[in-house]
Structure 1
């Protein structure tokens, strides 16, 4: 019933940033052009008003053509559509008749025609329809009448006949549009331009050839039929990927904050010190900051694979921190000074941390040989993450412990 329609478009690339931009531009377009249009059925207006409607429609389509020209680097002169509607042929134009006859002839003489008829009957139907077009009297009722007069009664079906009549009228509109586009294109003198541009430009010309014009409300001093657009919904790959990107971002941020908070609380409970809890999370924060900064600078997208980096980095990084902090406090309980405890822990625990990080790095290195890009990226970034986690645990962590505990000791004195 023509109450719904779909608009398809090809997306030239699948980068998330590009898809997000496309999705937002479509949202803006729908907000701007999603309402305020009127339909003008030309058959319902006198010639003078039809001319006004055509002129206004030509102006808007010319504007679209200029936008298209900018996209393909084709310079479109202002006023290039002036008088273009004069090239719209009448239904009984010889060229239109020729195109229409060829199409109808294929249909009525085909074995797949809706009615079983002889070649003589097909010839008679064809001639009578063409004669009706020449007289400018081809209507749905007229075609149905011609079919009924030439199809046997046992073959006759009123509903099928109406469908055939609609198909014939559509073919006539197609023939008329084809002739108009051919003539108009010659007048525009845009031959030799990009084939894609030509295809889209001819598609715009097609809009001028039919008997319907859709214009913004207020474009003309008289009113058309208001188009009631109830709902415009964007779907497909760009909007799906944009939503997925948003959900990934939100879930990644939430999981990251929750993991850091739980890690901090755990260390506070274990060491009964807020400052120690804060120090323990420092290597993790450093690692994540460097890794995600690298992902952003290198253009590696946040995917199902790369979003796992934070969780694994926190799990391994806090393990290194807990081992080192526990070692320092254990040595201090044995009677060693802070500096001595850090030195002993650095030698004992440092070897274990270093060995463990090398083993984990080599384990993730296997993913570099994966043909799947997300796994390849995940493996490479996890190798860097493990290296940074070990580096931070063996450099920043001892330094922070030395500074903080020395400061606290001096304050107590």
Structure 2
């Protein structure tokens, strides 16, 4: 296949052109739930998929980025549960789009999105879950004229070079997915984001279902308690770890309860929330090539968080772990250089004295370990450098601990993907 421009250009012109050449597969797909936001999109999609599948529905899902294999982005709905697209079918879809495009300008993500729509139109399903790649207004997925619902997860500072340098500007981009008359389900937001999103919903006459206003979530005796005007659900805790996962799960519940055409039994909410998985989000690694390098009986956790708000929720999750089982914390971190390393690291100040910076293999735009160490120094942190995650784990194993440590590998989904690949843990 030909190489396409990787530079992100938030416009829909090229996307609309290739969809016309494909015979508008986006109009022939099953009804869509469209998910935008800064943090929690993937987890929210995972809950939506798990609940809908537990209700016996066939669910296609398009998510990004992938961690180990590109196939992870394309999940085809089947009775009894979806499957990742096969190598052969994905290649055929991409080659078909390539032939029709005939060398016209197009980005990699646009080509992948076109292939997803082509695949989803070929295979019958009940619901399609679409995760926005970047922003919302000009994202390649934003060509669905009337989805079942639009969903906006928490908005915070990320991708400022593309989306704007304030939360309000970023929220305006995310709010670009709101469609006339289509229910909008909104997670709890910073005040400036909330105001922008609510105004857009008002302009589009989109019925608003907002956290804290129209629906509420709480944790009671370790269980998820969800309440809206239709009643109360007392549900098991999410399988995914962290307090923030209760919010993500509740956002999925609110979304499904906002769609009149979907009849989801309580049993499906119970089963889906307890079963939903999403790799590299506070994922405990218990076996594998890298885990074997850590000190025996230590805990190894992986999280692809890469902005200040991600760091906050991960630090909170670590705080919960520390309350249950105290262990010394070691943070192994690698980040892309367009991220605010200082803002991310600040969340871990006071939680650990042992931070190891590593490069991200294959990414020239990543911070060097030395640059990450400098960012930590401004916060009064002492950060050492290692040539790789494997070398960092070996250095931890050489130290003497009274209690085996808790090790967090974090800072980038690209780093997380490398860790899963090297560890031999492949998302299914």
Same-fold status (TM-score > 0.5): no
Higher-Rg member (1/2): 1
Higher RCO, 1 or 2 (CA under 8 Å, sep at least 6)? 1
Larger helix proportion, structure 1 or 2?
A: 1
**TM-score for both structures, normalised by structure 1:** 0.20
Larger strand proportion, structure 1 or 2?
A: 2
